[in-house]
């Protein structure tokens, strides 16, 4: 699908070969706060997840895509979650996994591809995301792609023995 291909990266479905990458990401405590994870995932559970990843977005209410470069190296994940067909909206989550791959424009390109796909192929009216107040890189990414901060969830995230706020951002397809 050409809509999911960019200049340097493309978005693709999860494949069985992604098991070790997915296992690394899901079990990295450094990203648990962003994914609201509290416990590790076994290879068995992730293998089952991959076996069921063929469900379409209307059935599963989510879509997880791998951000891959053209050498087929997985760079990260981008998700549509809480897909709401009636209200024509979905949440967006994105992670460029390795530190050396961040701040290289991969997340920006992936987000642009997903926005285009969501509005043109899924006919969504809006996308939203939730970002911790101290995640300036993600805030900049989403704001630069047209997302607008519309709310604050006070003391929403408990991390490192303290509470912090989470911002709600929306992008409405005009």
Q: Are 133 and 166 in contact (CB under 8 A)?
A: yes
pTM for this entry: 0.86
Distance separating the N- and C-terminal Cα atoms of the chain: 24
Tell me the average pLDDT of the chain. Answer: 87
Mind listing the domains of the chain with CATH numbers? 2-172 (3.40.630.30)
Instruction: Express as a percent the part of the chain with pLDDT over 90.
Output: 62
Q: What is the pLDDT of residues 2-14, one digit of tens each?
A: 679 999 999 998 8
Q: What is the pLDDT of residues 115-133, one digit of tens each?
A: 999 999 999 999 999 999 9
pLDDT in the model for residue 24: 82
144, 146, 140: which is closest to 171 by C-alpha? 146
pLDDT in the model for residue 164: 93
Q: What is the pLDDT of residues 13-70, one digit of tens each?
A: 888 888 888 878 777 777 655 555 566 667 677 777 667 766 666 666 788 899 999 9
């Amino acid at each position: 699908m050409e809509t999911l291909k960019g200049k340097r990266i493309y978005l693709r479905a999860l494949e069985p070969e992604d098991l070790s990458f997915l296992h690394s990401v899901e079990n990295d405590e450094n990203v648990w706060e962003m994914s609201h994870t509290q416990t590790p995932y076994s290879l068995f559970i992730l293998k089952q997840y991959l076996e069921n990843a063929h469900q379409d977005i209307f059935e599963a209410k989510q879509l997880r895509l791998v951000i891959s470069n053209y050498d087929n190296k997985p760079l990260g994940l981008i998700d549509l979650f809480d897909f709401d067909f009636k209200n024509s909206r979905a949440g967006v989550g994105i992670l460029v996994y390795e530190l050396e791959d961040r701040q290289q424009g991969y997340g920006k390109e992936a987000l642009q591809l997903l926005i285009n796909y969501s509005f043109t192929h899924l006919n969504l009216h809006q996308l939203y995301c939730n970002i911790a107040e101290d995640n300036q890189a993600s805030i900049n990414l989403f704001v630069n792609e047209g997302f607008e901060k519309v709310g604050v969830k006070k003391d929403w995230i408990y991390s490192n023995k303290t509470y912090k706020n989470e911002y709600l951002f929306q992008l409405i397809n005009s």
